[in-house]
A and B are shown apart, each in its own frame.
Chain A
Amino acid sequence: MKKYTYTDKKDTRSGFGAGLLEVGRKNEHVVALCADLVGSLKMNDFIKEFPQRFFQVGIAEANMMGIAAGLTIGGKIPYTGTFANFSTGRVYDQIRQSIAYSGKNVKICASHAGLTLGEDGATHQILEDIGMMKMLPGMTVINPCDYNQTKAATIAIADHDGPVYLRFGRPVVPIFTDPDQQFKIGKAWMVNEGSDVSIFATGHLVWEAIQAGEQLAEMGIDAEIINIHTIKPLDEEAILRSATKTRCVVTAEEHNRLGGLGDSVAQVLAKNNPTPQEYVAVNDSFGESGTPAQLMEKYGLNAANIVSAVQRVMKRRQEQ
């Protein structure tokens, strides 16, 4: 198992804030909008440097999505910022008609996704957003794993012509990816090459997968871990190559079991190379208040759950 260490921890939303500032400097067409959550989205540095290119919309997310769509007409590249719940479920029809169907170059940047939002509880902990967004034709869906990767993704999406859903979170998590990485949309990242099982993880679950990989190594299991930061378009080649080698798969995500990364992977496998698969995901339920760690444990999303999913899926492979 390749060794991953970290010296610093930060929230992925701060990676977004840093990336937004950098891409704002690189590309004069980049503008930003926010629906009364500037501090939470870490947009202050961008606003300070580019006050003319920032639009405070107030608590009016539908209007924000429409204004963003309009800003593209005239060549702007708008980045919208609010919580993931208000970035998707609240404004699904606005995104569907004014952005996705209209083919507008809007970057929907969504913080506080999933259970790790914590104490605010289920009203804010959206676990359905990846599903909703990936179903929209032409939408790119990205869920990076740490500060550095979120920053790199925030910068990279400006060069992609088309709507993007960029999902990140609130909690402070280890920074373990390269600060100088080139983020390639749709290109999965090989975290660890292995031969016994494929673990496809996204977002905060990538670090959990690495910890699971270390525990599995001690048990003599050689896990292949792949970071699927782009859920759509999915790197089908990387998934099939790995699944063909290991012949058993675990998917891990901070999302409902229905409609997320796991289902995307399952569809690729079913069509090309049916393979036993176990899901580490929320089992079709809402969340609740609690600390992120408590919630990840209660809803079965931590490293221990990945380890037991690996054991289950390896047993299923053996029985085949």
Chain B
Amino acid sequence: MSEDIKKLEDIASQVRRDIVRMVHACQSGHPGGSLGCTEFFVALYFSVMERKPGFDMDGIGEDIFFLSNGHISPVFYSTLARAGYFDASELNTFRKINSRLQGHPTTHEGLPGVRIASGSLGQGLSVSIGAARAKKLNNDPHLVYTLMGDGEQQEGQIWEAAMYAPHNKIDNLIATIDYNGQQIDGATEDVLSLGNLRAKWEAFGWDVLEMNGNDMAEVLDVLAAAKSRTGKGKPVLILMKTEMGNGVDFMMGSHKWHGVAPNDEQLAVALSQLEETLGDY
């Protein structure tokens, strides 16, 4: 394992600790999808994206990211804090009264790193397309990244956006789907089958890649490949296979931990499986 990958995996371990501690502390929130997307967030913020120091809303001259499936806010908040957007001690306020860390992300409380509110599903891809268009108008060569859920693919607005982006050659956008096959009420196959997502997105005109989102080396490779495929007249989509609850054995492989907080005992078991690498907040 290269030194870079080891460093990113260490950060991911800490982010996972943050996620379970945050959700435990307020006894609510969404640990499952957050744990499944940890490698993706860490790779994006600590390796892939070109970011300017500090935070300004317009994000001109840097890569920017939008979270469309806002319920996985724990992994977003932990990553932003660990990347320096705000102090990690603020993670302790998650979902509590008077906090900037609302249950679902918002710009409303002025939390650095967040550029749009999300939570009501299906809206983030459209916002990302708008931001990508603004970058083109500003002659800003940087990229726009976005993450959606797979259950979220059931929202109609996604497919309005899916149709728009290839028609308009939005090729400075890399959209990713967290393809864990689970949603609140059960497996996506049982609730409302997604069918062949790859074929659907390709049929809409997207350049589609696939990756295992819980393998840091592969995440880095495929994100690099995705980046190399921008600027070629097509928007890029990554189907990211992940395991809900990844990193905590009893949370893996089930939709049960989509939106449930661990109790004291479960927290202790989870933390015993996740090394403290950067220091708990």
Using a CB–CB cutoff of 8 Å, the interface residues on chain A facing chain B are 31, 52-53, 55, 57-58, 60, 62-76, 78, 93-94, 96-98, 101-104
Contacts and interface: CB of A to CB of B under 8 A. Distances in A.
A66 B108 contact: no
Interface in B135-193: 135, 137-138, 140, 156-157, 160-161, 163-164, 168
Contacts of A74: 58-60, 131, 134-135, 137-138, 140
B133 interface: yes
A151 B94 CA distance: 46
B100 to A, nearest CB: 14
A27 to B, nearest CB: 13
A294 B137 CA distance: 47
Nearest to B133: A71
Nearest to B106: A101
B213 to A, nearest CB: 24
A101 B106 CA distance: 8
B117 A71 contact: no
B163 A66 contact: no
Contact of A97 (B117, B133, B135): B117
Nearest to B138: A74
Please provide the 10 A-B residue pairs with the shortest distance between their CB atoms, ordered closest to farther: A70-B130, A66-B126, A74-B134, A63-B160, A60-B160, A67-B130, A70-B131, A70-B127, A62-B157, A71-B130
Contacts of B124: 66
Contacts of A55: 133, 168
Interface string B48-72: 0000000001111000101000000
Contacts of B118: 97
B160 A98 contact: no
B128 interface: yes
Interface residues of B, number: 39
A97 B123 contact: yes
15 contacts: A58-B160, A60-B164, A62-B123, A64-B126, A66-B126, A68-B130, A69-B127, A70-B134, A71-B133, A73-B131, A74-B59, A74-B135, A98-B116, A101-B107, A103-B107
Contacts of B138: 74-75
A73 B126 contact: no
Contacts of A52: 137
B216 to A, nearest CB: 29
B155 to A, nearest CB: 9
Interface in B99-124: 106-108, 115-120, 122-124
Given A58-B164, A102-B107, A70 B117 contact: no
B223 interface: no
B125 interface: yes
Nearest to A68: B130
Nearest to B162: A63
B108 A73 contact: no
Most chain A Cβ neighbours within 10 Å, of B108, B116, B124, B140: B116
Contact of A67 (B58, B108, B126): B126
Contacts of A101: 106-108, 117
Interface of B: 57-60, 64, 66, 106-108, 115-120, 122-135, 137-138, 140, 156-157, 160-161, 163-164, 168
Contact of A66 (B115, B119, B125, B134): B125
Contacts of A104: 116
A50 to B, nearest CB: 11
Contacts of A98: 116-117, 123, 126-127
Contacts of A71: 130-131, 133-134
B129 A67 contact: yes
A76 B127 CA distance: 13
A66 B157 contact: yes
A69 B116 contact: yes
A133 B97 CA distance: 27
A101 B110 CA distance: 12
A65 B132 CA distance: 15
B111 to A, nearest CB: 12
A69 B108 contact: no
Given A60-B160, A73-B64, A98-B117, A66 B106 contact: no
B131 A102 contact: no
Given A66-B129, A70-B129, A75 B60 contact: yes
Contact of B163 (A58, A72, A94): A58
Contacts of B168: 55
Contact of A73 (B59, B160, B163, B164): B59
Nearest to B157: A62
B164 A70 contact: no
Nearest to A71: B130
Given A97-B118, A98-B116, A98-B127, A66 B161 contact: yes
Nearest to B104: A97
Contact of A60 (B119, B123, B134, B163): B163
Nearest to A106: B130
Contacts of A76: 134, 137
A63 B131 contact: no
B132 to A, nearest CB: 7
Given A67-B129, A73-B64, A76-B137, A62 B160 contact: yes
B109 to A, nearest CB: 11
B164 A63 contact: yes
B156 A73 contact: no
B102 to A, nearest CB: 10
Nearest to B68: A66
Contacts of B164: 57-58, 60, 63, 67
